[in-house]
Each structure stands twice: as C-alpha cells, then as structure tokens.
Structure 1
Amino acid sequence: MTSKKTIMLPSEELPVIHEVDVTVVGGGPTGIAAAIAAARNGAKVLLVEQRGFLGGMGTVSLVPAFCPFTDHIKPVIRGIGLELLERMKASCRPEFRQDYAEQLDWVPIDAEVLKRVYDDAVLESGARVLFHTFIGQVIMKPDRSGIEGLVVLNKSGRSIIQTRYIVDATGDADIAALGGAPFQKGGDAGELQPGTMCYLLTNVDRGRFRQYMQESGDNDQIPKAVMLAQHNGDLPPGRKEVSGFAWVSDYLVGVNFGHVFGIDGTRAEDLTKAAIEGRKLVEIQVKFLRKYVPGFENAHVVSTGEQIGIRETRRIVGDYMLVQEDFTSMRSFEDDIARNAYFIDIHMATSKEQMQIRHLPDGESHGVPYRSLLPQGLDNVWVAGRAASADRVVQGSLRVMPNCFAMGQAAGTAAALCTSTGGTSREVDIRQLQRLLTQQGAWLGEIASSLGV
C-alpha cells in the first residue's frame, strides 16, 4: 500500500472571533431548533452554517415536503418544530395557506419562504448566525474530555470560536468524529442508503394531473408508468415509486424521485460525483414525466438541489443506542426527550434490492432517550438529528426533519441548562429538562403527567 504524500504546515496563531456559551454547528432543522431553544433559555448562542441560508435538506437539497408531524391521530412533534411549520404556512401565498391550513403531514416546502422564516426565528431568539463557514479542526480540553474550541475557515480566513458547549447538528456527526467519539456507518458491509437529487418543476398542470389520477382510479398509476418506462428504456432500473409530488401551487411542484447509489455523504469526492450524476438523472426523469404523466407535458426545471439529499452517514455510539426492538415495542424511557412515530424507511443500497418499510399502529410512538444524544468520550457535546445513537434500522425512522426539530430542541435546552450550572452534558437534571421541554411546547407522551405540568 502506497502512503499518501504529506506536507508539514507551520504553526500559526489564530484570532478568537467568538466566545460563546453554546455553538451549534449545522443549520438544518436540528441546528435551528437547538439554537432557538438554547437562546430562549438564556444561553449565548452562535449557529455556524456552511451555506448562506438555513434549512438543511429542505432548502439545500430541495426535499419537497416535511415528513409527518403526527402519529395519524395527534401531533407527536410539537414545540419549536410545529411552530416553524405553522410560521412557514402563514408566510406563504393565500392559496397555499388554504390548501394546507389543517395539514400537519407531508406539507410541501416553499424553500424561499422557509429560508426567511428560519432567519427570522433564529435571530428573534437572540442567537447569532455565521454563514459561509466550515469547521476544519477542534481544540480539545487539556484532559481531552470535551471540546473547548472550533477552528473555522471562511472568506475572512482561519479563526477560532471558543465555546463551553457544542450541539453537533451536522447530520454527519462531523464535530463528534473530529473529537474522537466512536461512530458507526452504514450496514454490516458498509453499505449506505442512496442519495436523491430533488428538484422543483414549473409549468405543470395540477388540475390535469388530478383528473388523470381520478379517472384512472388507481393509486398505483405512477408506479405502473415508472415500470413501463423502465421496460421501454426511458428510465433506469431501480426505484418504482415517485416518493413525492409536493404541490407548492397549481403550477409548481417539488419532486423526490430516484436514487444515486454508492454515495458516502462524508466524502467530498462522492458528493461531487453524486451532484453530477443526480443532475443527469433529473434530465432523464423530467423527460419521463413529460412523456408518461398527464399534467407534466410542458414541465420546466426551475432548480435542482445544491447538494444531493443524503439519508445516512455516521451514527454516534452514544450512552444508549436505540435498537429495532425499542421501535417495534414502542418503548418509553425514563429520560425521554422526544417521541417518534415515523415509519422505518430504509432505501435500498443497490438498484436490485427492495426498500424496507415498517409502520407503527396509528396513535402509537416510541421514546427517544436523552442518552442517545450523548457521544461516548465527550462531556460537553450533544449529537442530535440524523446522527443520533441508533442502529441502522431505527435511524431509517429517526432521521427525518420533524424528529430532528424535536431532538434539536432537547439538545439546545440541555446545553442552556448546562450553561447555567456549569455542569457536563451527563450532569443535566433530566426531570428539569423534561419539564422545560414540556412547558415550551414539546410532547413527551405519558411522562408529562408525572412532571407536574
């Protein structure tokens, strides 16, 4: 094996540009909720995001709709996440508000509206934001029990953020991994769920599409069209379902369709390959839609995702790892900080495999324990969202945006509590945390009755 060439860089003295209580790294739903929660609870907060806007997969990758907030009977994800969903709806055009006023599941995302909603909500909380910034290195505490600084890189150069606590909301556990925390990635053979290049189409006819679906009287009409196109060579083999047509208006629709396989979202080379392949696949898909699906005859691509949508990379090894039995038995925990009712949704790693989908009964959910946010080996870092501690099966359920809001709110609230006490992430008073979360709108199921709120 040939070793890679290396170059020794000289030591350098870097300026400290921020000194804060809590640094939230990553501006997706997890980071947004964490920053708002920490700031509302009194911490001095900085949210660092590599792009020029917030929103994560919903804005960066144009994932077209929010996954369900309910268990089909009641909202399970409440608090900051539900507040932001309603703010987006209220900020959209009157027709959108009318269409989705009562809807909490699969609400389409108007990405440009959502960007502004997120900006406003984070700044109103008192948190500060730093866009266009990457974290390239961490500075460990002298005893290596945690992280006390982040080396950042942006157009201003290299500098340091000194911080007491960190919420890793990168989705890939980037900060925890830099800090040496153990993690898992993919399946037993290292396989990863594929990525999807989502996109936005205009010049489509929702009325004509609805008429086509009603006249056919067959909910499988689109999968049948996909299979026919695959048989005719107009689509590549693989996914049969169009995961989502999310109608922002009668002439504008977001599309989640197809897979790009063999992509590791922690590698820039793979993300580059996926971007190029994804855009080529969109061209093929749009030709299919124009030819096979009424209402899409004149469809025009407005935008593709800035980055391919990523479903799976690292999962931390936390103080507790959620496993499949916890999901299927709908288990609750003494240290629950959220509930999850979304189905297990594991996309096949190759075009020859089948998707794995498993649902909970209507009205049921399982708990998400605080310990699943705590990476082993680090005492001042929370990893919330897609990279929380879970086996691969449960990660296929836990990874979606509403759940990320809930976990982010819990992590940010815990970080604020630590700011006031000076304790570590493992010294948080769980009952106090649960009480605060419940008072601030989160839903923790039956445990709430024992909290006196």
Structure 2
Amino acid sequence: MLVVGGGPAGIAAAIAAARSGARTRLVERYGYLGGNLTAGLVGPCMTSFSLDGSEQLIRGVFDELVRRMAELGQARHPSEIPAGSAYSGFIEFGHDKVTPFEPEAVKLVAERMCQEAGVELLLHSFVADVCTEGGAVTGVVCASKSGLRLYPARVVVDCSADADVAVAAGAESVTGRESDGLTQPMTLFFRVRGVDDERVEEYVRGHPDDFRPFASIVAAATAEGRFPAPRRGVGMYKTLRRGVWRINTTRILGRDGTDVADLTAAELAGRDQVDRLVRFFRAELPGFAECELLDTAATIGVRETRRIVGEHVLSLADLQRGTHFDDVVALCGYPVDIHDPTGAGGGVDDSWGTANAYEIPYRSLVPVRIDQLLVAGRCLSATHEALAAIRVMPPAFATGEAAGTAAALAARLGVTPREVPVGELQRALLAGGVYLGRTTGPASSPQPAP
C-alpha cells in the first residue's frame, strides 16, 4: 500500500499499516517527515485529551512519538501541561493538556519509528498524477529529481491535507464554509529568541482582562494603524528552550491553499508580516525588547482547503451531541476553532458547545464512489465547522492510524476499504494502543489512561 503525505496523518498511517503487516511506502515532498510539526513550525500539538482534561483520548502512534521525544528531553507529555500555562499560550479553554515539542526531534523520532516498522520512505517526491481503473485507484505517479515514476498500490491513503489524490481520482469534494466557500486564513509560524520569559509571564498574568496576550496593546496599535496583522492579540507559545517562543500571529486572508499563485503570494505576505511583527514586538511588547527572529516556517500554514465527501459527513451536531458511531475509529476533545476567513476574529470558542469527547467514524475516511482509497487528516469528510475542531495535529494522527490499519486489513482480506469489517478494524486499533471509548460495541474494552 501507499501513503501520500508525511505529516501527522501520514506518519501514523504508514506506521500502522506496516505494523499490521502491509508492505508500505510513504511519499513525502520534503526531505523529512512531520508536515506542520516540522516544516510548518506549528506547535504545540493541541490537546489529545477530553475537553475537561480528565482523560487522554488520542493515544497509539501519537502517544508513542511524544513519549519517545520526551525520553530525549525534546518534548513534554501533555498530561504535564495545564491550561493557561505559557506552553498553552496562556489560553484556558480548549488548551488543557497540549504537547510542547522540538521540531527536530519529530524528524528524527518519526523516521526511526517508520524504519523500525519497515516503512519504505520516498522523500523529495510529490504526486503528479493518479491512476484509476473502473472507479478504483490503482497507483500514483510521483515526480522527483529522478523524473516521473509510477507506483502501483493495492490501497492508497491520501494524507496530503488537500485531498490531492482523492480529487485527482475523481472523488467529490467541497471547500470552505457552506455559505460562500471561503476558507480559514493562512498563517506563517515563526520563532523568536532572546525573550525575557519571566517579564512576559509577569505582564500577561497582570492583565487578565486581555482576550489574548497583549490584546490591549494590539488594540491600541490597530486603532492607530500600526499593528501589521489582522489579529486581536499575540498568539505565542513558550517552547522547551529558554527565551524561545513560537509565534502564531501572522494572518493571510483570501488565499486558496490549492492554488500555486495564492500560495506564493501568501508566503511573501507572511514573511513581510513577520518582519514587521518582530520590529513591533521589540518596540512595544514587555519582555520582547531584546528578541530577534530565530526562523520562519519552511512553508505557509494552511488551515483549510478541500474536504472529501465521504460515506458520513461529520457535522457540528455530531460534535455537540457526542454522537456514538458503531464504526468509531477515533475520539477527540478539541473544540471548534474557526479563524475568521475575512478578518481578525475567531479562534477557540466555547459558544459552539462541543461535547467533552466526541467520535470520528470510519465512514468519514471513505470517499463515496471511489474505491481502493482512504483519506485521513484535515481533508476527511466533515463540515466546515466540524473540520475546525478536528483539523489539528492529534486528531490527524488518530485518523491516520485508523486509515493505515484499515488499508492493511483491506489488502490482507482482499476487499475494498469500504468493505473492511468494522469490528475487526476496531480490534486491530485497540491492539495497537488506540482508545475508542468505554462502550464501543463488541470491539471495545476499557483501557486505563497511560
């Protein structure tokens, strides 16, 4: 089988498939794995726990990766990180039990986990075309320095984040919000060093009325036309290195993450905002007077593009009710996190009323009509609102692990992915350390928190 995309979903899919006995190849466009974990500089990982922080929901490959990085001193387990901490960006709601980590550790540990499982890595490669026959995907054509090459596959798992394989194969997809098709804005993450950690914490704790760190300073500068990004505060997360913070504050509106001209424009706009933001930080933010730019992400961060239309479209109502699905393959607790496609507003918001824990069904990974294909990560089948909750990295790991396990099972049984016996899939996931809740029908068994 073949996995396209080496981000969180792809890492988990490839490892799960290989551990399940499938001969597995992972195609990745960069020279390293991680996607937004590495190239995107996105961090920390948002919560893998229930909304109230009482139970770890996303385990399996994700938890193993985190624990192995923690053993190297390059991550902290989410169970150690409370809401409202500097590692959580000083945010309370939806930010209990986040995971601080160092990007270089992801590259190393993810590669080791893939190699130990027997995954064949194909880096510096991207999908140029998709081969189909009779409504089924039979392989992909990859482009690289070696030219164009066809890679046949029994099952393909699309973890491209943009549904690249699915759309090229003819799968139905939708983009953006239902009203106008607009997508959430892009962000170029960057890191700064030389920050006075204690001064920052003192200021933020001393201004509890600020919506986000430094919100009152940002509001005053915005009113005067001096703040360089359409934001209401500074998104900032303390890292494991003293004086180094991740900054999630740039915002690029009105660009399409599947259009090369828009991606180019977004990269240019993002770096321009970074330059102006760093100068603003040095001049006006307490604790940042001596800061300097450490690095910008290797790629613009894209929150939303295409989503497949699957056998079940996960809805906001499903998240609010905590709908139980007989084919549950993942549990999540992160709330709805919609960044305004047209302005400075948005972010995690408790008014959406999502459940403490909610389920993702296997059917949301299965495209309608197209066979021998599964989709995982932020391009799975969901509404705009539901996607805003499950688009972050731990759920991507969870759906990737489910897809990889299912693909291996389909290949072994000689059936299409949509024909995979759900009970057998769930038992395989449980055996791999995945948590599926305390009542998952015949395949479930309570699992203690790690």
Q: Structure 2-normalised TM-score?
A: 0.90
- Alpha-carbon distance, 1:241 to partner: 2.9
Cα deviation, 1:253-300, whole Å, max 9, x if unaligned, reads 111113100111111111110000000001111122112222211111
Mapping for residues 141-152 of structure 1, pairs under 5 Å: 141=133, 143=134, 145-152=135-142
In 2, distance between residues paired with 1:100 and 1:206? 21
In 1, distance between residues paired with 2:108 and 2:326? 37
SS in 2 for 1:339: strand
Cα deviation, 1:93-119, whole Å, max 9, x if unaligned, reads 5xx65x977238222231111111111
CA RMSD of aligned residues (A): 2.0
Mapping for residues 31-46 of structure 1, pairs under 5 Å: 31-46=10-25
In 2, distance between residues paired with 1:340 and 1:309? 22
Alpha-carbon distance change, 357 to 215 in structure 1, aligned in 2, over 3 angstroms: closer
Cα deviation, 1:340-384, whole Å, max 9, x if unaligned, reads 211011110112655572468798211111000001121110011
In 2, distance between residues paired with 1:326 and 1:354? 21
SS in 2 for 1:81: helix
Is 1:321 the counterpart of 2:313? The answer is: yes
In 1, distance between residues paired with 2:389 and 2:176? 14
In 2, distance between residues paired with 1:270 and 1:385? 22
In 1, distance between residues paired with 2:351 and 2:118? 39
Greater mean alpha carbon deviation, residues 326-335 or residues 361-370: 361-370
Alpha-carbon distance change, 360 to 124 in structure 1, aligned in 2, over 3 angstroms: farther
Greater mean alpha carbon deviation, residues 211-220 or residues 291-300: 211-220
Gaps of 5+ in 1: 1-21
In 2, distance between residues paired with 1:170 and 1:417? 21
In 1, distance between residues paired with 2:100 and 2:356? 24
- Alpha-carbon distance, 1:211 to partner: 2.5
The 8 Å contact of residues 69 and 77 in structure 1, kept in 2 or not, is answered as yes
Alpha-carbon distance change, 215 to 341 in structure 1, aligned in 2, over 3 angstroms: closer
Is 1:92 the counterpart of 2:73? The answer is: yes
- Alpha-carbon distance, 1:448 to partner: 4.1
Q: Output the amino acid matched with 1:41.
A: S
Q: Output the amino acid matched with 2:435.
A: W
In 1, distance between residues paired with 2:345 and 2:200? 30
Correspondent of 2:33 among 34, 50, 54: 54
Count of residues paired in the alignment? 427
Q: What is residue 9 of structure 1 aligned with on the other side?
A: none
Gaps of 5+ in 2: 82-95, 446-450
Mapping for residues 34-433 of structure 1, pairs under 5 Å: 34-71=13-50, 72-92=53-73, 102-103=80-81, 105-141=97-133, 143=134, 145-187=135-177, 188-216=179-207, 218=209, 220=211, 221-236=213-228, 238-351=230-343, 354-355=346-347, 357-358=349-350, 364-433=356-425
In 2, distance between residues paired with 1:388 and 1:444? 19
Greater mean alpha carbon deviation, residues 23-32 or residues 212-221: 212-221
SS in 1 for 2:30: coil
The 8 Å contact of residues 89 and 101 in structure 1, kept in 2 or not, is answered as no
Aligned-residue sequence identity (percent) comes to: 37
The 8 Å contact of residues 310 and 381 in structure 2, kept in 1 or not, is answered as yes
Is 1:26 the counterpart of 2:26? The answer is: no
The 8 Å contact of residues 263 and 274 in structure 1, kept in 2 or not, is answered as yes
In 2, distance between residues paired with 1:23 and 1:330? 32
Alpha-carbon distance change, 100 to 318 in structure 1, aligned in 2, over 3 angstroms: closer
Q: Output the amino acid matched with 1:147.
A: V
In 1, distance between residues paired with 2:367 and 2:173? 8
